[in-house]
């Protein structure tokens, strides 16, 4: 684990942001349970988060390859520098410098597949309450994970 890296903290933050947006959508659905023609809203972000994690894993792999792979020393004839390790390609350098976390944007989606009531509203209060509970539980799990990360970082800083 890289103590300086904020990868876990950043990913949990993005997950919590997505869950907060989902909470807002569910609240809107509950508030409009009796509004004629209202179509329930959902928030999708898990696949984006999975892609971000995959990209960060690839960055870690590239970093590992560039720090582990030993190449016998060769001298650069122009600068006289001795290269002992593999240097990243220009594409790898650009990829390592990119910020994959900025690409996260939860998607609000209108649910047109759920069956509608006689007034055209497709919100089911029981389903929304269950989704509200699941979302709250997931948020709690992520906040506990983030709390642990900060606690470990604090222990390291204090030298404990």
C-alpha to C-alpha distance for 50 and 92, rounded to whole angstroms: 21
- Tell me whether strands 82-85 and 41-44 are parallel, antiparallel or unpaired: unpaired
pLDDT (tens, 9 = 90+) of the chain, 160 residues, equals: 454 557 888 899 999 999 999 999 999 999 999 999 999 999 999 999 999 999 888 888 877 776 655 555 566 666 766 655 566 677 777 777 788 888 899 999 998 777 778 888 999 999 999 999 999 999 999 999 999 888 888 888 888 7
pTM of the entire predicted model: 0.75
């Amino acid at each position: 684990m890289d103590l300086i890296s904020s990868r876990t903290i950043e990913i949990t933050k993005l997950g919590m942001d997505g869950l907060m947006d989902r909470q807002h959508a569910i609240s809107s659905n509950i508030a409009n349970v009796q509004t004629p023609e209202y179509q329930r809203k959902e928030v999708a972000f898990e696949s984006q988060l999975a892609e971000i994690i995959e990209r960060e894993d690839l960055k870690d792999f590239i970093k590992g390859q560039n720090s582990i792979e030993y190449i016998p020393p060769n001298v650069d004839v122009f600068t006289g520098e001795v290269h002992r390790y593999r240097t990243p390609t220009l594409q790898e350098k650009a990829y390592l410098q990119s910020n994959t976390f900025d690409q996260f944007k939860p998607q609000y989606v209108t649910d047109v597949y759920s069956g509608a009531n006689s007034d055209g509203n497709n919100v089911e209060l029981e389903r929304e309450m269950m989704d509200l509970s699941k979302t709250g539980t997931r948020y709690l799990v992520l906040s506990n994970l983030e709390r642990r990360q900060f606690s470990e970082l604090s222990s390291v800083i204090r030298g404990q």
